[in-house]
A and B are shown apart, each in its own frame.
Chain A
Amino acid sequence: MSFLEASAPDYLPLAQMRQLQLARLRAVAARAYQNVHLYRTRMDEHGLGPESLCDPSDLGRFPFTTKADLRDTYPFGLFASPMSEVVRLHASSGTTGKPIVVAYTREDLEVWTNVMVRALAACGLTRGDVVQNAYGYGLFTGGLGAHYGAEALGATVIPISGGNTDRQIMVLRDFRVTAICCTPSYFIHLVERAAELGVSIRDLPLRAGIFGAEPWTDSMRRHIQAEGGIQAFDIYGLSEIVGPGVAIECSCQDGLHIFEDHFYPEIVDPESGEPVPDGAEGELVLTTLSKQAMPMIRYRTRDITRLIASPCGCGRTLRRMARISRRSDDMFIIRGVNVFPSQIEAALLEVEGTLPHYQIILTRQKGLDAMEVQVEVTPEFFSDKVGALEGLHARLADALDHILGLRVSVRLVEPHTIQRSEGKAKRVIDRRES
């Protein structure tokens, strides 16, 4: 088997990997204890310290770190390096109040680039590939993370950033791009728009898409692969941990390999915080093993997945996580019923076969919660006959009723009326006053 030198840790024997993880866990706990007030206080409260770690599983005794901790210590409270060693800051878009700020030392950036190189290599990218990086450049980690990884791999990088879809299509075609990085929903939009302009993405040299920053489904993958004529890979990451490059799919497209030499995964019950049995679904909790500027100990990602320990066809020994099915904080409650956007997607897919653009609007009318699902009419389902559209409308309403056990209203809307996001798709608009 031939692979990049950088990818060597992907194939580390299990025992060696656990040994490496333990050594790094101790180092990161020590660094956090010495340099970060919040970690020191919490470890002291629990009578824990770096010496409490005799096995990676001992990590389970340590308290969690949450997004709220990052907000409470805004902006620099969790930094473990002096500013003189911090060479980069990123910040996440805060949906409520303050953003969260993350920091990198030079070594941190090297680690990030290293995992991104390994991620892109796992997707079959190599020197000579032309990579159109349509993740947003700026405070968002997606743009620069993918950029430096692709560059270090030796690929040709086009730092086009997000937005301006018509120009994206022109570049895709004229620069003979072979791989694209963006969110899956944006790529679907791009293929749609290209068709309107008479460009068939399928007939271009493009062969791979590295899609992340939002949860997506296997049927979206089938749609993307068929319409785009490409292989679509799921990449996972979050700013709090490093940015993109925490985990990646390989050519087997059966779960995402976690770069375990830098990020230690656990799965816990999202309610109780207790570890779930091996292979069971729960919330992903990550601990950084080499971060200097901002170590994260047992960070609650809110992403729901499970770990796959069985060997992968690609030969990597890195454990895999299943594709993120949903986020525990995506859930909303309507008339007492828990609803995940992924359930709405399942209903729409059942009727239309591919996922149309949709949006969920929550309102409160006379004290009663109401939910409207707006669905864009697609060329496949549009008809000049009223009866055909009314039939579609009824089938959508029935499928939602069936899956949710809840009657919700469905509205067919014109194409392109639901706002396309260049980053993460915004699926739920909650207009209920709290």
Chain B
Amino acid sequence: MKIHQLSLFLENSPGKAVEPCRLLARAGVNIRTLTLADTQQFGILRMIVSDWEKGRKLLQEAGYVVNETEVVAVEVDDRPGGLASLLETLEPSGVNIEYMYAFTFGREDRAIMIFRFDRPDVAIEHLRAAGVNVLPDVEL
């Protein structure tokens, strides 16, 4: 139930983010969602794409350093308190969230959260037990 996220190292300078996006676009790989973590010097572009294996191959062949991480995609109610109650279900598990980002994706009253957990399997178990919808790759 874990999904594959691709991460790229980018230098923090104008125009750096457009190249990998263009590359994926030309090959018909769709970027479902992305987030850019930035420091003064460099950035890490994290993406969920429609075909991660093809995306990774393309990017590697173009010379990018690509890291592939397993993350967890979870449906959350798009209303005040939606995220808070989701996080509450995780509290007893003791898993740590390394980072997370959200997107809404044509699901009317629902949003999707992407989590990078230190122990994804434990997190998934707890979420499932609480009746939270953990999404597989195909539904993204």
Contacts and interface: CB of A to CB of B under 8 A. Distances in A.
B9 A414 contact: yes
Interface residues of A, number: 20
A1 interface: no
A412 interface: yes
Nearest to B39: A386
B103 interface: no
Interface string B43-62: 01010000000000000110
Nearest to B7: A384
A386 B61 contact: no
B61 A413 contact: no
A382 B61 contact: no
Interface residues of B, number: 23
A390 B10 CA distance: 14
B11 interface: yes
Contacts of B63: 196, 415-416
B88 interface: no
Given A379-B65, A393-B41, A415-B65, A384 B60 contact: no
Interface string A382-402: 111110011001000000000
B126 interface: no
Contact of B37 (A196, A386, A412, A417): A386
Interface string A176-211: 000000000000000000001100000000000000
Nearest to A409: B41
A378 B65 contact: yes
Contacts of B99: 385
B69 interface: yes
A196 B42 contact: no
B67 A382 contact: yes
Contact of B65 (A197, A390, A411, A414): A414
A278 B7 CA distance: 55
14 contacts: A379-B66, A379-B67, A382-B65, A384-B44, A384-B69, A384-B116, A385-B44, A386-B37, A386-B44, A389-B39, A411-B41, A412-B41, A413-B11, A415-B63
